[in-house]
Structure 1
Amino acid sequence: MKQILLLCLISITLWSAESVAVLDNLKNEVGIRRGGDVITPSGSGEELYRGDIIFTGSDGALSILFNDGSTVALGNKSVLKIDDYLFEPSRKKYRFDLFLKEGSAIVETGKIGKVSPKSVTFRVPEGTIGVRGTRFFVKVH
């Protein structure tokens, strides 16, 4: 019985860990912190999940393509955390919550920004950017 319960819990955990985005246009030093692990992406198409921290080195850059069509391009020496992301148009549930700890980003919102702009939050160490347009640039020193 314990084995069946453990198998069910593992299945639920794997099912709920749905990818929210993929990496694209990776250049030089790029990494992902997931839990206690640091992952070196093998290339474009690497899946990202809620809670992932994406970082670039001194000569690194990348693009993130979210499931709703939103894109985030990170410049060098950047650290971005995907705090929350939910795109369920059939249930009209949306959340897009990112935190740029350092570096620079160009953000272009996708469907979430169009149908539910109040669901988009982009935070920086000294404040929050309220998104009402579709494209912006931000740099954190």
Structure 2
Amino acid sequence: MKRQLAYQIGYVIAAVAFGAPASAAGIATVTDVVNDGYRTPPGHEEQTAKRADELVQNEALRTDDESSIQVTFVDGSELRVEAESEMVLSDYVFDGAASKGLINLNDGLFHFTSNGKPDQGVKLKTPVATIGVRGTEFLVHVDGNDVTIIDIMSGAVEAKPNGTGQPITCVGGQSILIAGPNEDAMCGDLGSFSAAAGSPGRDRNKPEPGHGGQNDRPERPEPPKPDPERIRIKGRAAAARPCCSPTRSRSKSADRIEAMGGGDLRPSHFSLWCVWHHCTADAAVSRTKS
């Protein structure tokens, strides 16, 4: 009995002297919080996320309406958790040469940037697909267990459905649609799936238009003409549509969603969707005409 007690005391002393297990080591840091963001370390209650918080393996993150959390990983790559989103940092390791890890994106909108780091070993997993990263920047729209849409700004992304669906690799300027774990992944032009496929953030209790047949589908209104005002997005000038102001106002965004064909998007996600999909598209059209 005394010997067993001595072993237990020795274990406690060793734990205090040498620190927590490797699994509790920090894998990322909170670098920005807008409004209401929350973190849940493993074995603890949910708490408010604050700038400079160190995040560990299996820590969960959640954001409320009009809120976001910016996370920087040990290799310098970044992930922004946009409004009304949930995720879990399952694992992330950087050995000085390359990164590997698994991040579970459960629901919402996420913006990943590798910042040129060798991150081929990093996987982002949604309920319907697993995303392989190849030195890139992209948005991931996760509609719970239903649909995942990936908008690739640069680099390349491999998307593999979690069931029997066939994988696909697409590059910057394209979007990927995974309509279910047993559906083949599809490539399309940037932004081509976000309104057509039932975008993340829709009200699941509200029936979508067009399900009763061709005659039930309302005509899509003509999009507004591009505004001559120029704005700068990620270092590139783009001809701005009226919705592409930098505002994150719910009311202004909500008024423009239907007119732009994005009626299923959450208003809090819409301004970001509009800027990336429509403003960049306008710039591409302008370059083609010139």
Shorter-chain TM band: 0.7 to 0.9
- Offset, 1:110: 4.4
In structure 2, what is the Cα distance between the partners aligned to 1:93 and 1:26? 27
Query: Secondary structure at the residue paired with 1:95?
Result: strand
1:103 aligned to which of 102, 108, 115: 108
1:3 aligned to which of 4, 9, 25: 9
Q: Which residue of 1 aligns with 2:90?
A: 83
Whether the aligned pair in 1 keeps the contact of 2:62 and 2:85 (CA below 8 Å) is: yes
With 27-36 and 76-85 compared, the bigger mean Cα shift is at 27-36
Whether the aligned pair in 1 keeps the contact of 2:75 and 2:99 (CA below 8 Å) is: no
- Where structure 1 has 5 or more consecutive residues not aligned to the other structure, the ranges are none
1:63 aligned to which of 64, 70, 93: 70
Q: Which residue of 1 aligns with 2:47?
A: 39
Whether the aligned pair in 2 keeps the contact of 1:68 and 1:110 (CA below 8 Å) is: no
Q: Which residue of 1 aligns with 2:129?
A: 127
Which protein is bigger by CA-based radius of gyration?
A: 2
- Offset, 1:5: 2.1
Over the matched positions of the two proteins, sequence identity in percent amounts to 22
Report how many residues are paired: 135
Whether the aligned pair in 2 keeps the contact of 1:25 and 1:63 (CA below 8 Å) is: yes
- How much is the aligned-residue C-alpha RMSD, in angstroms? 1.9
- Offset, 1:62: 1.6
- Where structure 2 has 5 or more consecutive residues not aligned to the other structure, the ranges are 1-5, 144-290
- Offset, 1:6: 2.2
Q: Which residue of 2 aligns with 1:19?
A: 26
In structure 2, what is the Cα distance between the partners aligned to 1:11 and 1:95? 29
- Offset, 1:93: 6.5
Query: Secondary structure at the residue paired with 2:13?
Result: helix
In structure 2, what is the Cα distance between the partners aligned to 1:104 and 1:124? 11
Question: 1 or 2 for the larger relative contact order (CA 8 Å, sep ≥6)?
Answer: 1
Query: Secondary structure at the residue paired with 1:44?
Result: coil
Larger proportion of strand: 1
Whether the aligned pair in 2 keeps the contact of 1:23 and 1:63 (CA below 8 Å) is: yes
TM-score computed with the length of structure 1 as normaliser: 0.85
- Offset, 1:132: 2.1
In structure 2, what is the Cα distance between the partners aligned to 1:11 and 1:49? 20
In structure 2, what is the Cα distance between the partners aligned to 1:27 and 1:19? 22
In structure 1, what is the Cα distance between the partners aligned to 2:54 and 2:132? 26
Q: Which amino acid aligns with 2:131?
A: I
Query: Secondary structure at the residue paired with 2:20?
Result: helix
Q: Which residue of 1 aligns with 2:168?
A: none
Q: Which residue of 1 aligns with 2:211?
A: none
2:61 aligned to which of 54, 65, 69: 54
Query: Secondary structure at the residue paired with 1:125?
Result: coil
Query: Secondary structure at the residue paired with 2:130?
Result: strand
Q: Which amino acid aligns with 2:78?
A: T
